[in-house]
Amino acid sequence: MYATADIPKETLLASFPCDQLIDSTKGPFGDSEDARALNWLHAAACELGNKNTTFNGVIAGFESLAELKRYSYYFFNEDDLATLNDMHPVLCMWVREAKQQADHIIDIVEKAEPSCSNEDIVCTYLNMRSRAFHPFGVVPVLDQFNHSDLLGQSDKFSDGKLCVHAKVDYQAGAQLFISYGAKDLYDHAIHYNYFDQCGPHFINFGKKAIHSAEGAIGQKVLAHIKRFFPVNELDIAGQKAFNLNAPLILLIEDSPSVDLVKALTEISRVRINKPAQETEVKAFAIDYFRTLLDDQIKLNQVDQVDESTVPDKLLRFYHLLKKEKAMLMANRQKLPS
């Protein structure tokens, strides 16, 4: 969607009455908050295969299965995954994990509704991941806008309607954005089926950075950081490690988030392994951050791949890795020597 005239910040861009949407509060999976996405997926997939559906407005904007087969991660073959692995093995792993998660959820719905075709469930799931407003599902009109974490305003509930407003001032001709929920740039490219390489993005550094938990010091670090953030304990080739499972441990363009600075500081406070002044802890944290950035930069091999050899359906991943590398380098260059 593009502006046909100048649009001031806070202008209402679109709205839709909630009572015209598929009801996600009822269904075979219960009425809990977590169950609503499954209920919506189940109901919408059934409506997609129903020639007499009264919810044409909801499903009319779906990307078709034929379209999705051309570019969705769900249909990547082993050659596609090998190309992704050449550019970045962790990105390839995220894509494989997304496919496994999709298959798991699709299987749950298929068992609950054997009369619903697998193709309809797959198509509905992929559209839900790219355009849904939880817990309301896909919303007509709103689903025609592309996503931006920083430029798009998420939905607001007003007078029985879901409403989105302009988060910034738009000039005529500019693309209008809304937010379907914040996404790390990997998840952005995986689930939204495109990547705006010129737009602002963030890196989920908590998930991507791996910290050693080996030995007495590693275990002390792990125990200490658990006081501040949830962690995922990992076993990597027999070595104990962990990453941080907190939503705000981020790299934002050229700077770390407040929570990332706190995490680095607390890890360094223990890893320095001696009584230390705050200035010493800060210096240690800067060096540790530099090491983590270097690890991420080394993993990103996009510069070794010729863009002209990348299939069209994988170009968004090539562009995201270029963006990621620029963000990593920008953060590294800002560190004091």
Per-residue pLDDT tens digits for 302-334? 999 999 999 999 999 999 999 999 999 999 999
At which of 141, 171, 197 does a domain end? 197
In a domain, 60, yes or no: yes
pTM to 2 decimal places: 0.89
Whether residue 235 sits in one domain with residue 185: no
Instruction: List phi, psi (to 5°) of 151.
Output: -95, -15
| Rounded Cα–Cα distance for residues 62 and 180 (Å) | 15
Whether residue 210 sits in one domain with residue 107: no
In a domain, 3, yes or no: no
At which of 147, 170, 197 does a domain end? 197
Please say whether the beta carbons of 324 and 304 come within 8 A.
no
Please say whether the beta carbons of 195 and 187 come within 8 A.
no
Give the type of residue at 214.
Answer: E
3-7, 139-143, 261-265, 295-299: the lowest-pLDDT one? 139-143
Q: Which of 72, 42, 44, 40 is nearest to 57 (CA)?
A: 44
Whether residue 229 sits in one domain with residue 179: no
Q: What is the pLDDT of residue 154?
A: 63
In a domain, 2, yes or no: no
Number of domains present in the structure of the chain: 2
In this predicted model, what pLDDT tens digit does every residue of 43-98 receive, in sequence order?
999 999 888 888 988 888 899 999 999 999 999 999 999 999 999 999 999 999 99
At which of 197, 224, 252 does a domain end? 197
Q: Two tokens at 37?
A: 């996405």
Domain limits for position 302 = 203-333
Q: Give the highest mean pLDDT range of 23-37, 39-53, 219-233.
A: 219-233
Whether residue 209 sits in one domain with residue 190: no
In this predicted model, what pLDDT tens digit does every residue of 160-170 receive, in sequence order?
888 888 888 99
Whether residue 185 sits in one domain with residue 123: yes
Q: Which of 209, 232, 213 is nearest to 222 (CA)?
A: 213
Q: What is the pLDDT of residue 164?
A: 86
In a domain, 4, yes or no: no
Instruction: List phi, psi (to 5°) of 301.
Output: -105, 25
Whether residue 232 sits in one domain with residue 193: no
Whether residue 178 sits in one domain with residue 67: yes
Please say whether the beta carbons of 268 and 274 come within 8 A.
no
Whether residue 117 sits in one domain with residue 48: yes
Whether residue 144 sits in one domain with residue 18: yes
Whether residue 188 sits in one domain with residue 58: yes
Whether residue 148 sits in one domain with residue 68: yes
| Rounded Cα–Cα distance for residues 113 and 71 (Å) | 27
Whether residue 251 sits in one domain with residue 118: no
- pLDDT beyond 80 at 152: no
